[in-house]
Amino acid sequence: MSELRFDGRVAIVTGAARGVGRVHAMTLAARGAKVVIMDPGGAVDGTGSSQGPGAEVAQEIKDAGGDAIASFESVTDEAGAARTVELALDTYGKLDVLLNNAGIADPELFENQTVEQFRRMCDVQYMGTVLMCKAAWPHLIKSGGRIVNTCSEGPLGIHGKLTTYGGAKGGVIGFTLCLAAEGVAHGVAVNGFSPRASTRLSSPEIMSKTYDVPAEFFVESMKAYPPELASPAAVYLAHESCHLNGVILVCGGGQVLRMAFAENDGFKSDSLTVEDIAANIDQIVDMTGAGFPGLGAAEKTVQANAEN
């Protein structure tokens, strides 16, 4: 198969100064895309800022012969999101790809989390994704573009101190699937990407705090999950040849798989009672033969629109 190129395409990557976002940006640029590096250079928990990391990535791309420009705006700022999109348009004339990668980590037991911590997590993970999509949407409609939203397996209830993170990422998943349904009419594909990668947000110290396991336990195990083995799925979803829509791909450690919601046939009665549910609960929760709701036919529609 020939190399999937992004020549002539313009992409915004949020959270692109470090970790998986940096690899996204570097890979897109190496494959011909013009890239806007959007990153305010904050700490893992979202506090502080520094222009250094984003500027360094943009310069690294230029030094390698690519084309990139840095934006130091925050995804939590509606005006900043709009300014970043305008920067892409003013510099490169259009927008084809939005890859929402910005995120923070702040693991703690639910009883110890403050309401402010929940708000900050939602501001970055959920509202940051919404604000960027809102600013980019009309321009992606013009180009028949691609949106890739970084999701997570956290909302599946994986053991750990993830109520703030998993809750916010659950919102991103729902938003992604619903926006994908709307995107069909415009030929805009919206998909999700869930990385398994060793980054600042999954450092041994963060993982230790999340799972109450000594940090040393993660030093060796996380070496199998470099960002370079997670990013390919997001880059594929961003490509114009990808006709998936409303799909979430999990990728890391050399493995890629699909994560999806499923529904079974359950149990039905015209006179349903509490006792009926109790008597048939095994059938109700049995997921054997379950199917995917929603967007099965939509993928073909996006493909048809993209080809016209």
Residues 169, 149: Cα–Cα separation, whole Å: 10
Predicted confidence at residue 20, as pLDDT, reads 96
Q: Which segments of the chain have a pLDDT < 50?
A: 297-298, 300, 304, 308
The pLDDT value recorded for residue 44 is: 73
Give the global pTM: 0.90
Burial 128-149 (b: 16+ CB within 10 A, else e): bbbbbbebbbebbeebbbbbbb
Query: Is residue 299 within 8 Å of 242, Cβ to Cβ?
Result: no
Which pLDDT does position 297 carry in this prediction?
44
Cα–Cα distances in angstroms (integers) from residue 45 to residues 60, 107, 155, 162, 214, in the given order: 26, 9, 19, 13, 21
Ordered by where they begin, the domains of the chain are 10-264+287-307 (3.40.50.720)
Residue 239: Cβ-neighbour burial (10 angstroms; 0-12, 13-18, 19+)? buried
Question: Of residues 126, 165, 225, 236, which has the active-site annotation?
Answer: 165
* Residue 165 is among the residues annotated as catalytic for this protein: yes
What b-and-e string marks burial along 159-177, b requiring 16 or more CB atoms within 10 Å of the CB? Answer: ebbbbbbbbbbbbbbebbb
- The residue count of the chain comes to 308
- Tell me what pLDDT residue 46 has: 72
Q: Is 306 left (phi over 0), alpha (psi -120 to 50) or beta?
A: alpha
pLDDT of residue 299: 54
Q: In what order do the strands lie in the sheet with 10-14?
A: 67-71, 34-38, 10-14, 97-100, 146-150, 189-195, 248-252, 255-259
Q: Smallest Cα–Cα separation from 245: which of 186, 192, 174?
A: 192
Provide the pLDDT for residue 142: 97
- CA 295 and chain centroid, separation: 19
